[in-house]
Structure 1
Amino acid sequence: MKESLQIAVDTGGTFTDVAIRGEDGSLFVWKVPSTPDSPDDAVIDGVTGAIEELGADITSISQFVHGTTVATNTVITRTGARVGLVTTAGFRDMLTIGHQARPSLYDQHHQRSKPLVPDELISEVSERVSADATIIRPVERDEIIDLATRIRARELDVLVVSFLNAFVNPENERNAVAILKELGAAPEIFAASSISTEMREYERTSTGTINAYVQPKIAGYVGRLAQRIREIDVSAPLWIMQSNGGLLTPDHASEHAARTALSGLAGGVVGSAMWADQLGLDKAVSFDIGGTSTDIALIRDGQPDETMAGQIDDLPLQLPSVDVHTIGAGGGSIAWLDSGGGLRVGPQSAGAVPGPVCYRRGGLDLTVTDAHAVLGRLGSSLLGGRFELDLAAARQRMTEWGDSLGLSTEDAAEGILRVINATMARGIRKVSVERGVDVRNCALIAFGGAGPLHGSDLLRELDMKSAVIPPMPGIASAVGMLDAPERHDFSSPVDVLGPEDHGSIAMVHSDLATRAESAMDCPDPNLSYLVDARYVGQSYELTIPYVADWESQRKILDSAHAERYGFSDASAEMEIVVARLVARGEESAKLQSRETNDGGMLSPVELRQVYIQGSWKQVPVYERADLSTGTSLCGPFIVNQLDSTTYVGPDQLCRVDEFGFMHLTEGI
């Protein structure tokens, strides 16, 4: 009988990562360069290459999970569909006006991102629904017929209908969509309320237009990928990672394309949350460094923080997602000088092509990876010897750049790392200190291709509890996807101001549960009941667990408010504005322990000169596979493996636990 294999593929800006898990829990990793112009090429190359290297039968794949950056890249590069918008008369400028939030308060030159729908593709309809769901003016068929003629002439790809207050009563929206579909106004037509059913018209409309903008590309990509994996004899169903850390079928991903906006990075957060839970880390920071960016998320009691109001390219996205703070800092981040002569690193990136100078692909700009190479933290090759580095070229370019700054080669390289580490430290504080969590009580789960190279430095700079390096950090996002469950989120607006109305939430949850059971592919899903609550007068909410007792519900809100904002208001009244339900499939797998250290001597594979704290030092280099359970080593040293390199600094202790995780702590 063939062994059943689970496979996950994570497409990144520089590399596409492949993780394969066997029935015995063993993991095999593989990496291939990404192909940004055609991401599915790298997916197929990665899968076939990994299976060939493993010596397995490709027909034995029983699960195929994929995290994609197609939606994100489509919005950022503005290469999406031609989208039209139909809205309530008087509100055509909603996307342009937005709201009063100003991310750069004192930057007079700051430019907001342009809406995805230009003004000439926006139409108005004389309908109206009141805030209490009363239809003041229904949709007039004759008006829609006249409008459809004008819309057809615009040759749209997708048309979105978003009416005022449709979140409390979508009847007008649905009627307009039905008539426009009947008249063939556009190839694809849908109501914004079918994507987001929550209040705040600008955010809901923005979410609908984002979904429309990326939908054709996501549908085309997912369909093409599903066909291509069938052509290479993979019969397993394709699952797509979504922003909330769960999985979607290709059909659901095509219809609700905006839910894949944070698809790639969510896998790492899911994995980090599972690892934190099973390692007993009550507070942890998921820290994923790739070639272009660093994705940071807070994890409490084994659960990642989530947000119901994210952003993509400064555009509101009102869908549940893991609450990730992304910064333009990665291995490919380019070093440059600002107008005042100050050293900056990123957010510009050398990407996969041409990449860092040491990648031998024609790159001329020095990057973070080049700095690590010059300082000796990286050896002469990556990916187990399959990817040769040009250390001499990186050093020569660093010397030239250092001379122009009056710095030595080593000081220039160290300067790049200090600057990028400071940027990363600010990002970590953003998800911890700014949310009322003492960063010194957090463990840093560092992964991604470059995460283990920076874990030691950030552990020291932020005085964190520990830095934890997963067994296969370079493909941790792909590994996390293997354990992600199927997930669907549902919500409905409510208006509850006291105990007399609190019981109505249970009926709303019951309706949502019925919808969840019909949407889920797996039987008997795990249902979580939540509400969005706030103090009366506030314009923001906190998502908290639902309980049937009003007083207990109030205590949960007070506790959550105090943790997030540092205080609770006993004199304020509570109101509940949204009822939520999260439906999940089977829970993730458990970590498997490894054999205990047999007590044999651990020998380095080489001794390497590494520049540390102002001087060159000879440090041992170990292979990760040789670090068995119970191994304890004092820094400085370096650990090599196929998918990443770990640097451990002076006066730091590294301990390997029973699951193969490396735990770095300060002080020996």
Structure 2
Amino acid sequence: MSLPTPAEERGYRVAIDTGGTFTDIAVNRPDGSVFVWKVPSTPHAPDEAVIAGLTEALSEVAGQPGEVTRFVQGTTVATNTVITGTGARVGLVTTDGFRDLLAIGYQTRPSLYDQTARRPRPLAPAELTWEVRERLAADGSELAPVDRRHLDELIARIRAAEPDVVVVSLLNAYANPAHEDQVVEALREAEAVPSVFAATSITPEMREYERTSTAVLNGYVQPKIAGYVDRLDKQLSQVGVPARLWVMQSNGGLLGSRVAQEQSVRTVLSGLAGGVVGAARWARQLELPSVVSFDIGGTSTDIALIRDGVPDEMTAGEIEGYPLRMPMVDVHTIGAGGGSIAWRDSGDGLRVGPHSAGARPGPVCYGHGGTDITVTDAHALLGRLGDSLLDGRLPLDVATARRRLADFARDVGLGDTETAAGVLRVINATMGRGIRKVSVERGVDLRQCTLMAFGGAGPLHAAELIRELGMRAAVVPPHPGIASAVGMLDTPVRHDFALNVSATTASAMPSVSEALDTLAAQAQDFLAEDEGVSATDAVFERAVDAHYLGQSYELRTAWTDDFAVLRRTFDTIHEERYGFCDADAALEIVTARVTVTAGWQEQRVEPKLATGDAPDPVGKRCAYFDGQWHDTPVYRREQLPAQVSLAGPLVLQQLDSTTVVSPGQACWHDEHGFLHIHPEEAR
């Protein structure tokens, strides 16, 4: 089958992003316009909020479930499973003599000068780790076959241990998966375990520790993801949605529900990837060369660097200290969000986060039983928020928050206003460090960067952060609180394929080219057989991972079969990233990569705002900025015409977020509804 074209998708296209506090819904109407909606998340059963949000949103636009032609879900189930330690009992079968691979890990310590720092415990514990007698050489040649009699004895022990999932990760299998496949087949034939798979089926790249860790993570989250996706798929059918379920994955593309159930680890950055994809699209639309994507939710802030409309990517990362080896958007996540809790440390210093009040009980002002002062409470008590959110659907109990702040302020030893302002200064400092992490530490001048602020709380912090960091401006998209869901509306199906190669000279380039041809054929077959998608209109991108001979890290470089040209491209990338290149070092290509994308053309109609006069404020309230209270006008954002400049301090309210503009700054809408914030004299 082929993916539907815009002409064929004349119904409602829906994308839903499940967050820690709210579940966000974006609906692309048949005329191309976008409607957004929010409902409280249901952490105990995320699918309940998804179905409720879908039903409510369709009701608001007078649509029916049967008219939904595309459905995309961004989920935090995999992430939360790892964070909360509630995954499956995972068993590991590895090569004889390598049972401690996960326990040993890297030779480096997590924190060089912290004697109490410890690595996380392996997700496949020692009692569920077994060794099989076999051996492959580094080039994949067989040194010793799989000992079948020993394997039969092993199968009996595995059956008796009753693990939920077994991962088979054998030494050097990335060069030749035959032994892994043989062991997996034996376990399946014996029905020794509910689920078993080879590590090479998840990531076929070298580096045993990262490859094994990634596969074990997949096994750890697989039952939860498989159960959730299957349950959601059935519920969508029950409410009458004919569209296929697509799931956002960590690389910024979509994968089908069946593939998500098998390769569940690819969803660990599911929700936040949608926001980065959306920010990249807006950066291209606004022709902004350097953008920092800044997404603040209830529990965390996700930050990414976007250069020339393309987000930085990485092929290796980690979650909760566990290494991941797979392509993913390069997002730096910190424990700083609207629900981050203020507390005193042992030296009586004011700290904020990383622990959060979450969805329930949430901030004190939400009135759901919260007792700890949070960042959201500080904004409410300093006049940045009114008496309700979500256009009145969420009343704020500011009086209770004020009483709780008074108690906390006495403990801290500051006045009430000083304490609330201190909470925001502390959290802004944390966020500022995160922004520098993805920009200054990569050789990017922040003074040339624009902050793309979204998430429910992003626009509340953007104005103060661009002033503190010296950034050129901030841009707030039309629907900032639903940005991740909006970003997923146009996301294509994407899959990445890799194969280890070795080339240090021009004479070896044909072997790399042959490997890329093999991967392209695999990608085409995968689209057709696993995703049910025709590759007729698919885009295939070829690249290689290379390094200077002897380095232990690689850089992705666009493929060309001209070794000299590829070398010059690599040198340029290396100098941009690390500040130097080494003309005397030999270049080694170690991995061939093919990325295939197949997707819908963008069919959204961007709003064209009319020009006009400055609107009248809908109200005024006292808000605290720069050490003093200001009589601050409050506007409805949708009433602000294009090209009309308003001077701060001011507050702009809308359904899904609140934007604050500080004294000495100004803001204006462009014709597409993007709000630009900058120093008052800059425009």
Structure 2 residue aligned with 1:230, among 231, 237, 244? 237
Confirm whether residue 538 of structure 1 aligns to residue 551 of structure 2. Answer: yes
Distance 1:438 1:303, change over 3 A: same
Are the aligned partners of 2:350 and 2:412 in contact in 1 as well (CA < 8 Å)?
no
Confirm whether residue 637 of structure 1 aligns to residue 644 of structure 2. Answer: no
CA–CA distance in structure 2, aligned partners of residues 124 and 2 of structure 1: 52
The sequence identity of aligned pairs, in percent, is 57
Structure 2 residue aligned with 1:354, among 361, 374, 377? 361
Confirm whether residue 10 of structure 1 aligns to residue 17 of structure 2. Answer: yes
Distance 1:371 1:661, change over 3 A: same
CA–CA distance in structure 2, aligned partners of residues 198 and 379 of structure 1: 52
Structure 2 residue aligned with 1:523, among 524, 535, 541? 535
Distance 1:587 1:550, change over 3 A: farther
CA–CA distance in structure 2, aligned partners of residues 102 and 637 of structure 1: 48
Structure 2 residue aligned with 1:424, among 399, 424, 431? 431
Instruction: Give the 3-state SS of the residue equivalent to 1:568 in structure 2.
Output: coil
Amino acid aligned to 2:376: T
CA–CA distance in structure 2, aligned partners of residues 197 and 436 of structure 1: 32
CA–CA distance in structure 2, aligned partners of residues 60 and 359 of structure 1: 35
Confirm whether residue 399 of structure 1 aligns to residue 406 of structure 2. Answer: yes
Are the aligned partners of 2:548 and 2:587 in contact in 1 as well (CA < 8 Å)?
yes
Structure 1 residue aligned with 2:588, among 544, 551, 575? 575
Amino acid aligned to 2:318: Q
Are the aligned partners of 1:374 and 1:394 in contact in 2 as well (CA < 8 Å)?
yes
CA–CA distance in structure 2, aligned partners of residues 560 and 598 of structure 1: 43
CA–CA distance in structure 1, aligned partners of residues 263 and 503 of structure 2: 29
CA–CA distance in structure 2, aligned partners of residues 25 and 34 of structure 1: 27
Pairwise CA distance, 1:590: 6.9
Structure 2 residue aligned with 1:51, among 31, 50, 58? 58
Are the aligned partners of 1:445 and 1:467 in contact in 2 as well (CA < 8 Å)?
yes
Are the aligned partners of 1:268 and 1:477 in contact in 2 as well (CA < 8 Å)?
yes
Q: What's the counterpart of residue 624 of structure 1? A: 637
Are the aligned partners of 1:284 and 1:300 in contact in 2 as well (CA < 8 Å)?
yes
Pairwise CA distance, 1:592: 4.2
Pairwise CA distance, 1:600: 3.3
CA–CA distance in structure 1, aligned partners of residues 521 and 9 of structure 2: 38
Q: What's the counterpart of residue 72 of structure 2? A: 65
Q: What's the counterpart of residue 445 of structure 1? A: 452
Are the aligned partners of 2:250 and 2:267 in contact in 1 as well (CA < 8 Å)?
yes
CA–CA distance in structure 2, aligned partners of residues 505 and 149 of structure 1: 42
Confirm whether residue 386 of structure 1 aligns to residue 393 of structure 2. Answer: yes
Confirm whether residue 614 of structure 1 aligns to residue 652 of structure 2. Answer: no
Pairwise CA distance, 1:392: 1.0
Instruction: Give the 3-state SS of the residue equivalent to 1:576 in structure 2.
Output: strand
Amino acid aligned to 2:127: E
Pairwise CA distance, 1:436: 1.2
Q: What's the counterpart of residue 380 of structure 2? A: 373
Pairwise CA distance, 1:66: 0.1
Structure 2 residue aligned with 1:249, among 232, 244, 256? 256
Cα deviation code 1:210-242 (max 9, x no counterpart): 111111111111000000011111111110000
Instruction: Give the 3-state SS of the residue equivalent to 2:210 in structure 1.
Output: helix
Gaps of 5+ in 2: 1-7, 528-532
Are the aligned partners of 1:596 and 1:630 in contact in 2 as well (CA < 8 Å)?
no
Pairwise CA distance, 1:2: 11
Structure 2 residue aligned with 1:19, among 26, 44, 69? 26
How many equivalent residue pairs? 668
CA–CA distance in structure 2, aligned partners of residues 22 and 592 of structure 1: 10
Pairwise CA distance, 1:155: 0.9
Amino acid aligned to 1:170: P
Pairwise CA distance, 1:523: 3.0
Structure 1 residue aligned with 2:96, among 76, 89, 98? 89
Are the aligned partners of 1:83 and 1:209 in contact in 2 as well (CA < 8 Å)?
yes
Please list, as runs of the form range in 1=range in 2, the aligned pairs for 1:249-648 lying within 5 A after superposition.
249-520=256-527, 521-524=533-536, 525-586=538-599, 589=602, 592-648=605-661
Cα deviation code 1:346-401 (max 9, x no counterpart): 00100001111101011110000000000000000000100000111111211222
Are the aligned partners of 2:16 and 2:24 in contact in 1 as well (CA < 8 Å)?
yes
Amino acid aligned to 1:638: V
Are the aligned partners of 2:362 and 2:370 in contact in 1 as well (CA < 8 Å)?
yes
Pairwise CA distance, 1:194: 0.7
Distance 1:204 1:163, change over 3 A: same
The CA RMSD measured in Å over matched residues stands at 1.3
Pairwise CA distance, 1:447: 0.3
Please list, as runs of the form range in 1=range in 2, the aligned pairs for 1:58-207 lying within 5 A after superposition.
58-207=65-214
Pairwise CA distance, 1:667: 3.1
Runs of 4+ with >4 A deviation:
590-593
CA–CA distance in structure 1, aligned partners of residues 404 and 64 of structure 2: 45
Q: Which is further off, 597-606 or 425-434?
A: 597-606
CA–CA distance in structure 2, aligned partners of residues 497 and 287 of structure 1: 40
CA–CA distance in structure 2, aligned partners of residues 522 and 47 of structure 1: 29
Q: Which is further off, 100-109 or 293-302?
A: 100-109
Pairwise CA distance, 1:403: 2.7
Pairwise CA distance, 1:157: 1.3
Pairwise CA distance, 1:466: 1.0
Pairwise CA distance, 1:5: 0.7
Pairwise CA distance, 1:591: 6.6
CA–CA distance in structure 1, aligned partners of residues 84 and 609 of structure 2: 50
Are the aligned partners of 2:344 and 2:412 in contact in 1 as well (CA < 8 Å)?
no
Cα deviation code 1:34-76 (max 9, x no counterpart): 1111110110111111111222222111110000011111111
Amino acid aligned to 2:267: T
Confirm whether residue 661 of structure 1 aligns to residue 668 of structure 2. Answer: no
Are the aligned partners of 1:141 and 1:179 in contact in 2 as well (CA < 8 Å)?
no
Distance 1:84 1:595, change over 3 A: closer
Are the aligned partners of 1:470 and 1:476 in contact in 2 as well (CA < 8 Å)?
yes
Instruction: Give the 3-state SS of the residue equivalent to 2:306 in structure 1.
Output: strand
Are the aligned partners of 1:597 and 1:631 in contact in 2 as well (CA < 8 Å)?
no
CA–CA distance in structure 1, aligned partners of residues 606 and 486 of structure 2: 16
Are the aligned partners of 2:340 and 2:354 in contact in 1 as well (CA < 8 Å)?
yes
Amino acid aligned to 1:572: A
Amino acid aligned to 2:515: V
Are the aligned partners of 2:140 and 2:176 in contact in 1 as well (CA < 8 Å)?
yes
Pairwise CA distance, 1:187: 1.4
CA–CA distance in structure 1, aligned partners of residues 600 and 626 of structure 2: 45
Amino acid aligned to 1:342: G
Q: Which is further off, 148-157 or 573-582?
A: 148-157
Cα deviation code 1:151-178 (max 9, x no counterpart): 1001111111101110111111111111
Instruction: Give the 3-state SS of the residue equivalent to 2:266 in structure 1.
Output: helix
Amino acid aligned to 2:94: T
Cα deviation code 1:540-580 (max 9, x no counterpart): 10111111110110011111111111111111010000000
CA–CA distance in structure 2, aligned partners of residues 405 and 154 of structure 1: 52
Q: Which is further off, 526-535 or 651-660?
A: 651-660
CA–CA distance in structure 1, aligned partners of residues 412 and 249 of structure 2: 45
CA–CA distance in structure 1, aligned partners of residues 411 and 154 of structure 2: 63
Amino acid aligned to 1:284: V
Cα deviation code 1:511-562 (max 9, x no counterpart): 1111111222143210110100000010010111111110110011111111
